[in-house]
Amino acid sequence: MRYISTRGQAPARDFAGVLLAGLAEDGGLFMPETWPTLSHADLRALRGLPYPELAARVMQPFIGDAVPFAKLQTICRDAYANFAHPAVVPLVQLDTTLWSMELFHGPTLAFKDMAMQVLGRLFDHVLTARNERVTIVGATSGDTGSAAIEACRDRSRVDIAILHPAGRTSEVQRRQMTTVNAANVANIAVDGTFDDCQDLVKAMFADTAFRTDMHLSAVNSINWARIAAQIPYYIHAALALGAPEREVAFSVPTGNFGNVLAAWAARRMGLPVARLVVASNRNDILSRFLAGNDMSMAPVEPSLSPSMDIQVSSNFERLLFELLDRDPAATAAAMTGFRSTGRMEVPHTAWQRATTLMHGFRLDDEGTLAEIRRLDRECGYLADPHSAIGIAAARALPCTHHTPTIAAATAHPAKFPDAMEQATGRRPPLPKHLADLYERPEHFTTAPNDLDAIEAQVRAFAYRNAA
C-alpha cells in the first residue's frame, strides 16, 4: 500500500513512512493511493472473530508488508489485552433500533485508546527495525493527549510532547496527562484554544529545519495510522447487528473529524452504511456545512463537551479530497483559502455528494444536560456529554426500514464529573486504577501561543533526553 498527500506535492510513502511522517511536507494529509475493498464474503468471514483478530485483519491491507501479519496480530492482542471489558467494544441497546458502541474501556477511558494502544506498539516495531528515534508532538482538546502519553510513556525510542489549551479541558482530562511521571513525556499548557495548539503542531512540521532536527512525528488523527486503527470497530459493530445483509447507520460526536472519517472509510471499503450523523456541540462548523454548505470559522466557545470545541477540523481535508475526485490542486486551493479567509468554498456538487450520506446535528449545553438526564431516567444509562450528543443525534436521525443506528460512546462519564453531577446529581467514580488521580502530583510547563516559545521548549526537552 502506498500513500499520497491530499495536496499532491509530497513524495508517496509506504505505511511505515506515513506512520513516522505524520503530516506531509506540503501541509497535506496522507491518504491511501487506492482503497482496499471488503466483499460481503470477506465481511462475513470477520463475523464472530475476537476483536483483536478482526482489527488485525481489517488493518492489514493498509499496512502491507511494513509489518508482518503475525506481528500485527501480536500487536493487536497486546494492545487490547488490558481493556476493562472482555468484548473490548461492547454494544449496549438503548432503544428498539438504537445502540451505544462503548469505545471507552481502555486505560484512559476514551475512544482514543482504541487506536493509540496500537500506534505505540507500531512505533516500537518500526523504529526498532530502522534503529531510529522520534519526537512526537501532538495537540489535544482533552482525550488524545492522555491516550497518546499512555501509549508512548517509557518507550525507549520515543519522546512525546503534548500541547493542551490551558483551562479548556476537564480536570480529569488534564490530570490524566500531567500526572504521568515519565522522562520521555512533556506536557505544555498553551495560552489559547485547541485550534491554536493544532496550528502550532502543524507549524512545527512546516518548519523544515526543526522537523528534521527533532525527527518529528505525530499521533494526532493527522496521522493516517490513527484512522486505520479506528476503522475496525465500525466493522465489528455493524457485523454484530446483521451486516453485510443489513445496512446500519452511525452517529459520531465529532471535533477533529477523524472518528467519523473512519466510519466513512469503512463504508468506502464496502461496509453497508446507510447514513452517518456528524454530531456537534455549539462549535457547529461541520453541522452548518452539512445543512447549507456554510464552512465558515467562528470563535471557539468552551462547552461541557471540550473534546469537540474545535472550528478547524483537520480530517475534513481528507473527505474534501475525496469529494473533489482526489484533485490535489483543488484541495490545496480550498484549504489555503479557508485558512486565509476563514471560509471554505466547496463546489455545490461536492457538497451534495457529502449530504447524500452525512447528516449534521447540533446540540448546545442545555440540550446536552437534558439528554444525559433523559438517558439516566429512561434507560438507566450514564453517558458523558460527548456521547450524549451522539446519542441525541442518533435519535433525531430520520431512519426507515428499522435500520439499526449505532452511536459512538467516546468517553467514560467519570471523565466529566462536574457535567454529570449538574445533569444527574451524581459524580461517577473513577475506575480503581485512577482512583487516586486527584492526589497525584502534576508535571507540566506553560507557554504563550507562540511558535518560537513552543519550539524552544520541545527542543530543550528532546535534547535533554538525547544527552
401-430 pLDDT, tens per residue? 689 999 999 999 999 999 999 999 999 999
User: Residue 192 and residue 291: Cα distance in Å, rounded?
Assistant: 29
User: What's the distance, CA 380 to chain centroid?
Assistant: 28
Residue-level pLDDT at 400: 54
Mean of the pLDDT values across residues 48-55? 98
Mean pLDDT lowest for which of 365-379, 397-411, 435-449? 397-411
Cell 447487528 locates to 241
- Cβ–Cβ under 8 Å, residues 114 and 89: yes
Pull the grid cell for residue 303. 462547552
User: Residue 408 and residue 234: Cα distance in Å, rounded?
Assistant: 9
Mean of the pLDDT values across residues 292-304? 95
Mean of the pLDDT values across residues 17-32? 95
Cell 485558512 locates to 339
User: Residue 148 and residue 75: Cα distance in Å, rounded?
Assistant: 16
Mean pLDDT lowest for which of 84-88, 143-147, 234-238, 367-371? 143-147
260-293 pLDDT, tens per residue? 999 999 999 999 999 999 999 999 999 999 999 9
For the annotated catalytic residues, the residue numbers are: 112
Q: Phi first, then psi: give them for residue 83, nearest 5 degrees.
A: -65, 150
- Cβ–Cβ under 8 Å, residues 335 and 280: no
∠ Cα 440 412 314 (to 5°): 95
- CB count within 10 Å of CB 113 equals 24
**Sign of torsion over alpha carbons 108, 109, 111, 114:** positive
- Cβ–Cβ under 8 Å, residues 155 and 124: yes
Residue-level pLDDT at 402: 82
Query: What does pLDDT average to over the chain?
Result: 95
Is the pLDDT at 126 greater than 90? The verdict is yes
For residues 246-277, b (16+ Cβ closer than 10 Å) or e, as one string? ebbbbbbbbbbbbbbbbbbbbbbbbbbbbbbb
User: Residue 157 and residue 464: Cα distance in Å, rounded?
Assistant: 14
pLDDT band, very low/low/confident/very high, at 121 (cuts 50, 70, 90): very high
308-319 pLDDT, tens per residue? 999 989 999 999
User: What's the distance, CA 219 to chain centroid?
Assistant: 10
Q: Which of 266, 8, 219, 245 is nearest to 117 (CA)?
A: 219
pLDDT band, very low/low/confident/very high, at 62 (cuts 50, 70, 90): very high
Residue-level pLDDT at 143: 85
Query: Considering the chain, what percentage of its residues have pLDDT values greater than 90?
Result: 94
At the top level of CATH, the class of 91-108+224-424 is alpha beta
- Cβ–Cβ under 8 Å, residues 266 and 155: no
Mean of the pLDDT values across residues 342-371? 97
- Cβ–Cβ under 8 Å, residues 188 and 454: yes
135-161 pLDDT, tens per residue? 999 999 878 899 999 999 999 999 999
Mean pLDDT lowest for which of 142-146, 248-252, 332-336? 142-146
378-394 pLDDT, tens per residue? 999 999 999 999 999 99
Mean pLDDT lowest for which of 128-132, 180-184, 191-195, 397-401? 397-401
Prior bond to 441 cis, omega within 30? no
For residues 352-363, b (16+ Cβ closer than 10 Å) or e, as one string? ebbeeebbbbbb
Dihedral, CA atoms, 224, 225, 227, 231, nearest 10 degrees? 140
Mean of the pLDDT values across residues 166-170? 92
Return the amino acid letter for 354.
Answer: A
- Cβ–Cβ under 8 Å, residues 320 and 334: yes
Query: Considering the chain, what percentage of its residues have pLDDT values greater than 70?
Result: 99
Is the pLDDT at 113 greater than 60? The verdict is yes
User: What's the distance, CA 183 to chain centroid?
Assistant: 26
Is the pLDDT at 399 greater than 70? The verdict is no
User: Residue 138 and residue 160: Cα distance in Å, rounded?
Assistant: 8
Residue-level pLDDT at 434: 95
Determine the angle formed by the axes of helices 316-323 and 258-269, rounding to 10 degrees: 40
Is the pLDDT at 15 greater than 60? The verdict is yes
